[in-house]
Structure 1
């Protein structure tokens, strides 16, 4: 197996993964997470479509009533709602990030504004399938955002409560903390009308909860036991660089509903961040699916989907950060590495096999990849190529890094 990719398949790396939570931004890059073993199984440029002030508190349209149906157990609730919770993969010019969001319509997903800040591309994974998305509206003051997927999603569509649950109510936070698979953490409503100083502004009218949340939970739903959304998780309590235990905050559902009702009819999305390089033809997005059954296949997919987004959007600096230090040294720097990319772009990818012990730090991932490029940059003058690439992946304690690539299945074929 080769540890150094050929010039054409050097486009195998993306942004260093970071894990979102906290309205001030995301934890950036490898080494930011306290994890030491593989997990088991946002400001946009000013735009007329952005909201510059908090949504009003007028009565909302489409929010559910708070009349409780027949009580359900938490396992029953999870089985019902989990398909509607998605994991965000956000490419930025110099980094990458993950977060959480939830469906409120076939192609509408609510998340926190800081999850999608400065995004140059957004993908959301629902189960083993990813969809691409654009921002319809976001409010940085309230830390709310609404995105639209490029195709409908088959998943649970959440209802927003029309009133806040009383103090003492049972709630649960749903999401993907620290890049882990889907989790539910239970707690109670500790206080209402809470405030949180996040440095550059004060978030107000928040729900305070003792449900355990971490980086990566941002944008996820805080639900009551009937499955309705009480709020959107946005931040945790940190003072003097010390994290307080059992104190987290969510934007209330009525406030979210007011903003969503304004944004969901928009046809023009918020502009993505321009990384200064020519974007891919068309939208620049691509679908990534995971058919491999390995426990780490989806986590490896996090790195690869950010990689493809970075290549397609010209976010080469962030792409270079996901190489192992040893592989980076073979290229010199991001500028030299990106010079070999030419005009190639990813159009679709599938992780069809992962080999190695799930707890191991080194795994091989086999990927079907389709690219388009100018004939001058394509193998055998191909303008569309189907590749079967083996990625050698290394776990550095925080994220899966690409240690090398090879072509054990043969050379690429024309589409």
Structure 2
């Protein structure tokens, strides 16, 4: 049997980090490939989504929900283009109690992690407050928010379950108790969705969305170890602007920057008709342990001529974003144009 390091090296390219924009806030989660353009995740990860992007390594793709079961907390999404990555196989039976398993994902929005444990119990039940999940795998594998939707795998690399929740008792987190929906249940749902899949409508935030899809690709070329984490903030920010989720975009500013704009309505009014079409993080400067970094970003936007610099309807910007770590995420603290005005596309 392969060792855990060998298994992780093989399957990691098939694990994706979700960036989900909702009207009032953004969220992250995990999912995994079961086909070139099909990704399994937890239903609560994509609930009330107005836009979804998924990062596989340095490649980010956009996705739509094609199947969702809130009572079972599982969902299937389809990417807008094929992904080169490991395609997971779902186990046909539940692993026995005491089987070694591991959770793969992005806890708390951080880089990819592997945590190992065992199957503690089968046919478990958990009351989340809004619903009761049944027929779950219980495991002592360490998971956190952000692991949701990720695969719980056995040492042969197959998926035993989809991580959905951790145990809370009287609003206190219980250590060493997490749950996953069983692979056979996921496989049955996926089979049904693939035979009659139809996109689930995105949430309408009540503002004008971007023309066309409203999504944009983001590339991370910078080698700084915080570049992808900063990219996470910029994806959620730009995605929210494009979908008219201005409250969600505004929350990604530091409180100090928010105060300079006044409020969401005043800030969003200055956006005019501008939308993000693509972005690339080309450099991040500052020490890795610092709470303040600078990110140089090449950004392309489209807008009506009345709202563009010098009447531009498509602009290429080179922006320096000041980023601040607030203890949980990188927030936008400011922006400047040290490299000059934007040029027409």
Under TM normalisation by the shorter chain, which class is it? Answer: over 0.9
Cα contact 1:108–1:264 (8 A) shared by 2: no
Question: Is the aligned partner of 1:298 residue 2:228?
Answer: yes
Q: What does the per-residue CA deviation read over 1:67-107, in whole Å, with 9 as the maximum and x for residues that have no partner?
A: xxxx1100000000000000000000001100000000000
Question: Is the aligned partner of 1:375 residue 2:305?
Answer: yes
Q: Give the Cα–Cα distance (whole angstroms) in 2 for the partners of residues 140 and 286 of structure 1.
A: 28
SS in 1 for 2:49: coil
Question: Is the aligned partner of 1:231 residue 2:179?
Answer: no
Q: Give the Cα–Cα distance (whole angstroms) in 1 for the partners of residues 194 and 137 of structure 2.
A: 24
Cα contact 1:189–1:207 (8 A) shared by 2: yes
Count residues in correspondence: 345
Cα contact 2:115–2:141 (8 A) shared by 1: yes
Q: Give the Cα–Cα distance (whole angstroms) in 1 for the partners of residues 321 and 253 of structure 2.
A: 11
Q: What does the per-residue CA deviation read over 1:130-169, in whole Å, with 9 as the maximum and x for residues that have no partner?
A: 1110000100000000000011100000000000011111
Q: Where in structure 2 are the equivalents of 1:194-273 lying within 5 Å?
A: 194-266=124-196, 268-273=198-203
Cα contact 1:311–1:345 (8 A) shared by 2: yes
SS in 1 for 2:135: strand
Q: Give the Cα–Cα distance (whole angstroms) in 2 for the partners of residues 182 and 81 of structure 1.
A: 12
Q: Give the Cα–Cα distance (whole angstroms) in 2 for the partners of residues 201 and 332 of structure 1.
A: 39
Runs of 4+ more than 4 Å apart: none
Q: What does the per-residue CA deviation read over 1:30-55, in whole Å, with 9 as the maximum and x for residues that have no partner?
A: xxxxxxxxxxxxxxxxxxxxxxxxxx
Q: Corresponding residue for 2:262?
A: 332
Cα contact 1:173–1:186 (8 A) shared by 2: yes
Deviation at 1:264, TM superposition (A): 2.4
Deviation at 1:355, TM superposition (A): 0.3
Q: Give the Cα–Cα distance (whole angstroms) in 2 for the partners of residues 366 and 259 of structure 1.
A: 43
Cα contact 2:67–2:198 (8 A) shared by 1: no
Q: Corresponding residue for 1:40?
A: none
* TM-score using structure 1 length: 0.82
Q: Give the Cα–Cα distance (whole angstroms) in 2 for the partners of residues 180 and 389 of structure 1.
A: 25
SS in 1 for 2:185: helix
Cα contact 1:100–1:176 (8 A) shared by 2: yes
Q: Where in structure 2 are the equivalents of 1:59-70 lying within 5 Å?
A: none
Q: Corresponding residue for 1:281?
A: 211
Q: Give the Cα–Cα distance (whole angstroms) in 1 for the partners of residues 105 and 84 of structure 2.
A: 18
Question: Is the aligned partner of 1:161 residue 2:91?
Answer: yes
Deviation at 1:265, TM superposition (A): 4.2
Q: Corresponding residue for 1:113?
A: 43
SS in 2 for 1:264: helix
Q: Corresponding residue for 1:144?
A: 74
Deviation at 1:266, TM superposition (A): 4.3
Deviation at 1:394, TM superposition (A): 0.7
Unpaired runs of 5+ in structure 2? none
Q: Give the Cα–Cα distance (whole angstroms) in 2 for the partners of residues 353 and 266 of structure 1.
A: 44
SS in 2 for 1:250: strand
CA RMSD of aligned residues (A): 0.7
Q: Corresponding residue for 1:129?
A: 59
Q: Give the Cα–Cα distance (whole angstroms) in 2 for the partners of residues 327 and 243 of structure 1.
A: 34
Q: Give the Cα–Cα distance (whole angstroms) in 1 for the partners of residues 310 and 344 of structure 2.
A: 9
SS in 2 for 1:75: helix
Q: Corresponding residue for 2:26?
A: 96
Q: What does the per-residue CA deviation read over 1:237-273, in whole Å, with 9 as the maximum and x for residues that have no partner?
A: 1010111111100000000001111112445300000
- Higher relative CO (Cα under 8 Å, sequence separation at least 6) belongs to 1
Q: Corresponding residue for 1:15?
A: none
Q: Give the Cα–Cα distance (whole angstroms) in 1 for the partners of residues 198 and 134 of structure 2.
A: 29
* TM-score using structure 2 length: 0.99
